Structure 1
Amino acid sequence: MTTTLADPVRLPSSAQTFAQVFVVDAGLSTVLQDLGRPGFAHLGVTVSGAADRTSLALANRLVGNADGATALENTLGGLVITVSSDRYVAITGATVDIRIDGRAPAEGRRTLLRAGQVLSLGRPATGLRAYVAIEGGIQTDRVFGSAATDCLSGLGPGRVRPGAVFTLGTRARPPLEVPLELTPPRLPVGEVDVRFRWGPRDGVFAPRDRAALTTTTWTVSADCDRVGARLTGPPLSIGSIDLPSEGMALGAIQIPPSGEPIIFLADHPVTGGYPVIGVVTERDVDLLAQAAPGTRIRLAALPRGED
């Protein structure tokens, strides 16, 4: 569904009672995200939450929300929204073309969106996921204390569809007064170094395979989503390793029988049966979450014992 200036948006009548955001077009994929639901792994519930947590928190701060307020996570652009009352809106993460009623906003990544104005996101020039935080935050049902959409387990709200309407909370505090040039996005450009720590199962790999993990320039395959990023390159050899299923962490570098690494992202499973050769740092998981298919990755091991 595409909206143009000649095709004005009519807000639902309920928009006159509560401040709301109306989704005109959800693009290829848009979900609701916050900082997830930690503390329930023993119940088989992963944290989930924003794939790029740093970008979500920054977007919320820029409009005066708490870091973990619910916002929109859009993959590959195409999101179009409007609001029923004036609200500040911030867009962080992937570098996307931002338009309000067809024009580029003067303020760039944070702008005051007037009631009835239409904000749209283009396809990312760099990065994969953009975060749209709206002053007051999106109010919706929560599961285990979170409104995050977990695309693997199905917990939380479903994917955002065109025509969806969400209620906005009240303004909590003034937007963060910081020059936007001091908040540049951290995005994968060129060949990207992703830091990791060895273990817990690096000992089952031969020295040549551990060396290959860090000397190979891997490529993010098209087989990537919120669950994980599959890397392509010369396969490692795991032989006939037989491990019982064990817990999986965010950023775990799992080596399946194909020998090509899979790095688990926000919606990863809580257990798995293939060996984990290392775990990517939390900060660099955010960077990897912005890596589009074709991005070149080098895995850089931190010295053992380094925090």
Structure 2
Amino acid sequence: MIVIEEVGPTATVQDLGRPGWFDSGVGPAGAADRGALRLANRLVGNPEHDAGIEVLLGGLVVRAEERTLVAVTGARAPATVDGTPVGHAGVLYLNAGQVLRLGFAQAGLRAYLGVRGGIDIAPVLGSRSYDTLSGIGPPPLRAGTRLPTGPPPLNWPNIDQAPQPGLPDLMEVRALLGPRDDWFTDPAALFTGHWTVGRDTDRVGARLERADGPALQQACATELPTEGVALGSVQVPPGGQPVVFLADHPITGGYPVIAVVLDADIDLFAQARPGQRIRFRCAGTV
């Protein structure tokens, strides 16, 4: 059992999501940076899909009620245990009563706390993730929340730390052109110059602003019938500022999707702060 003593901007329980419910109007949700959650779980010896805590920027303080094993990954939020600094992406042993405190990350956007045994709350539609768009799943964490952990797995971790590269000043992201690239006068403009992440970014999507290069212009004013959209879809409203759909994206949309970010590169957007420079690289056609 762990106890939440303080929360920064926001913190939610997330696993790898609830796929398979699109026909019921429910998106998958799950960790925005899936790789960071998987790494946190591997460090503490959990299956990769176990639930952990996703922390926006930092500010989380937790207290262990019993001896447990934790790991912090994702954004590099400085961490201390009872005031003593500890490393990033490493295995941390907490005795009963010890307090883990996360400061605010200077780079990256989302940190992940993995706890040995996983956060063992009741799943909703097969997942313990909170979906910020629909409100499905456990509510955002608050001070005083007590989170049970599951039984520890049999295999202990065999590494103490997993060094992680920093984020580049210019983040290169691969995308497949289409399926609605023919709705634009010059779809290749997406891959010309670079973009910046705007202030309007959350778990639903990251809105991009043109830093340099040509604008995205639709070829006609015809309305597109509502159709399904996937994780990583680059949807372009009439204003020409694309939105990259992230973990809590809607399952349908009415604006044309000019491209789809490769699944392997979606996690990069989970760590992209407002002001982060983005360059798209064409990886083919949908």
Normalised-by-shorter TM-score class: over 0.9
3-state SS of 1:211 partner: helix
Query: Mapping of 1:237-256 within 5 angstroms?
Result: 237-238=217-218, 239-256=220-237
Structure 2: where are the runs of 5+ without partners?
none
Structure 1 residues 19-55: Cα deviation after superposition (integer angstroms, max 9, x where no partner): x100001111100000110011111111100000111
Check the 8 A contact 1:95/1:125 in 2, yes or no.
Answer: yes
**Residues 89 and 263 (structure 1 numbering): CA distance in 2 closer, same or farther, change over 3 Å?**
same
Q: How far is 1:179 from its partner?
A: 5.0
**Residue number in structure 1 paired with 2:72:** 91
Q: How does 1:56-135 map to 2 (within 5 A)?
A: 56-105=37-86, 109-135=90-116
**Equivalent AA in structure 2 for residue 232 of structure 1:** E
**Contact 2:91/2:160 (CA < 8 Å) preserved in 1?**
no
- The Cα RMSD (Å) is 1.5
Instruction: Determine if contact 2:17/2:31 at 8 Å carries over to the other structure.
Output: yes
Query: 1:236 matched to which residue of 2?
Result: 216
- Following the alignment from structure 1 to structure 2, what is the Cα–Cα distance between the partners of residues 245 and 107? 43
Is 1:227 aligned with 2:195?
Answer: no
Question: For the residues of structure 1 that align with 2:35 and 2:165, how far apart are their CA atoms?
Answer: 9
Structure 1 residue 170: Cα displacement:
1.0
Aligned-partner Cα distance in 2 for 1:108–1:249: 30
Equivalent residue number for residue 184 of structure 2: 205
Residue pair 1:188, 1:288 contacting (<8 A) in 2 also = no
CA contact (8 A) 2:78 2:88 kept: no
1:258 matches 2:235: no
Superposed CA offset, 1:228-250 (max 9, x none): 00000164112413110000100
Secondary structure (helix, strand or coil) at the match of 1:138 reads coil
Provide the secondary structure at the position in 2 that maps to 1:231. strand
> Identity rate of aligned residues, in percent?
45
Partner of 2:11: 30
AA aligned opposite 2:201 = C
Residues 279 and 108 (structure 1), Cα distance of their counterparts in 2 relative to 1, 3 Å cut: closer
TM-score (norm 2): 0.95
1:62-114 Cα deviation digits (max 9, x unpaired): 10111111100000100000111111101110111010111113686321011
Output the TM-score relative to the length of structure 1. 0.89
Task: Report the Cα distance in structure 2 between the residues aligned to 1:230 and 1:304, rounded to whole angstroms.
Answer: 22
Structure 2 distance, partners of 1:187, 1:269, is 30
Alignment equivalent of 2:151, drawn from 170, 180, 197: 170
The residue matched to 1:283 in structure 2 has which SS?
Answer: helix
Shift of 1:265: 0.1
Distance 1:155 1:126 in 2: 29
* 1-structure distance, mates of 2:68, 2:254: 47
- 187 and 195 in structure 1: CA distance in 2 versus 1, 3 angstrom threshold: farther
Q: Sort the Cα spacing of 1:176 and 1:245 in 2 relative to 1 into closer, same or farther, 3 A.
A: same
Gapped regions of structure 1 (runs ≥ 5)? 1-19
User: Could you tell me whether the CA contact under 8 Å between 1:186 and 1:287 is conserved in 2?
Assistant: no
Instruction: Give the residue type in structure 2 aligned to 1:216.
Output: G
1-structure distance, mates of 2:73, 2:88: 13
> What is the number of residues matched between the two proteins?
282
Per-residue deviation at 1:176? 2.1
